[in-house]
Amino acid sequence: MIRIAVDAMSGDLGPRTAILAVLRLATSAASGVRFILVGERSVLERLLPATLPSSVSVHHAPSWVAMDDDPRAALRHGRETSMWRALDLVRTGQADACVSAGNTGALMAMGRYLLKSLPGIERPAICKAMPVSRGRTWMLDLGANPQATAEQLHQFALMGAVLATRELGRDAEVALLNVGVESGKGPEVVQAASRLMADDRRLHYIGYIEGDDIYTGRADVVVCDGFAGNVALKASEGVAKLIGEKLRSGIRSRWRYRLAVPLLMPLLRRWRTELDPGAYNGAIFLGLRRPVIKSHGGADEGAFAGALNVAIEQVRRRVTEHIETELAES
């Protein structure tokens, strides 16, 4: 039985989204999975049906972390919050993974404090699978560490490689994000990380990759510090929104374009399915001793369900244990 602790109070849209996502999975394909909704009991019970599925329970937490709370203050004073108590259920073995749409900094701080980092990992990294021209590419770090040492970038590469290899069923190709592909390009920390990765026989390292190559699928894992990764991710999301808006406004602007919509609809539906951000919602805090999944703060029911599925797969595939084993094989 897989048990997922859900921080139901955090996020931009409130507990209704988390509840609807949990109920969707609890009544569909998530057999063998139990969900623990963590939050203010009276609030949750007002939103829940009178009869809960047997796989759903409520764990009371009288407070929650706001999206604009300072992570250090949340760590010091947040022991009564839904985020803390959801993570603590994982720490005490009452749950196998935690999912939260809340404050990223607070989730990282609490996760490191309660669950600790894996041996050999100085700092966890946020990792997310993204759609590319062929399949998916995993990118890390996406914001947990605005600055990273060469050793930390090397650690990110090892963790990302284990995750991608488990998903792909073959050795993952790992690249390092840089401003050019030639040797000698980029800051010294990136060049030093490249040397470490090239010398590590556990990695199938293919060298540098530039930003315009992230979505070609040339690499299975793209490694960078949290500043570059977060900028790249947000810029990509902005471009995707721009393309969607341009497409909609273009169709509205000319009647001839509207006539072509029925012919294009199968292709547009396929693109929408393949490129729907909700289908790829759920970033993994790689490097913690237990799985912690960050959902987008504004995720709707479907996207939050995607984050729950990421948590289920992380537990089912025992990714954390495999990372620890790989790191131990020096």
Q: What are the backbone dihedrals phi and psi of residue 126, each rounded to the nearest 5 degrees, phi first?
A: -90, 125
Contact 23, 8 (CB under 8 A): no
Bond prior to 141 in cis (omega within 30° of 0): yes
Superfamily of domain 1-117+287-319: Isopropylmalate Dehydrogenase (3.40.718.10)
Which pLDDT belongs to residue 255? 62
Which pLDDT belongs to residue 277? 53
How far does Cα 301 stand from its chain's mean position? Answer: 16
Which pLDDT belongs to residue 121? 93
Return the amino acid letter for 104: T
Average confidence (pLDDT) per 10 residues, the chain, 330 residues: 95 91 82 92 93 93 93 93 98 97 93 94 92 86 92 96 90 94 89 95 94 90 94 79 72 65 59 54 91 91 92 91 81
Q: How far apart are CA 107 and CA 90, in angstroms?
A: 13
Q: Map out the domains of the chain as residue ranges.
A: 1-117+287-319, 122-284
Give the pair of three-digit tokens for residue 114. Answer: 């309660």
Instruction: Report the relative pairing of strands 173-177 and 221-223 from DSSP bridges.
Output: parallel
Enumerate residues 6+ apart whose C-beta is below 8 A from 219: 137, 173, 174, 175, 206, 209, 213
Burial 279-303 (b: 16+ CB within 10 A, else e): bbbbbbbbbbbbbbbbbbeebebeb
Which pLDDT belongs to residue 276? 56
Enumerate residues 6+ apart whose C-beta is below 8 A from 254: none
Q: How far apart are CA 69 and CA 87, in angstroms?
A: 18
Indicate left, alpha or beta for 299 from its phi (over 0: left) and psi (-120 to 50: alpha).
beta
Which pLDDT belongs to residue 261? 60
Nearest Cα neighbor of 142 from 311, 281, 327, 278 is: 281
CATH architecture of 122-284: 3-Layer(aba) Sandwich (3.40)
Do the first three CATH levels of 1-117+287-319 and 122-284 match, i.e. the same topology?
yes
The pTM (predicted TM-score) of the whole model is 0.85
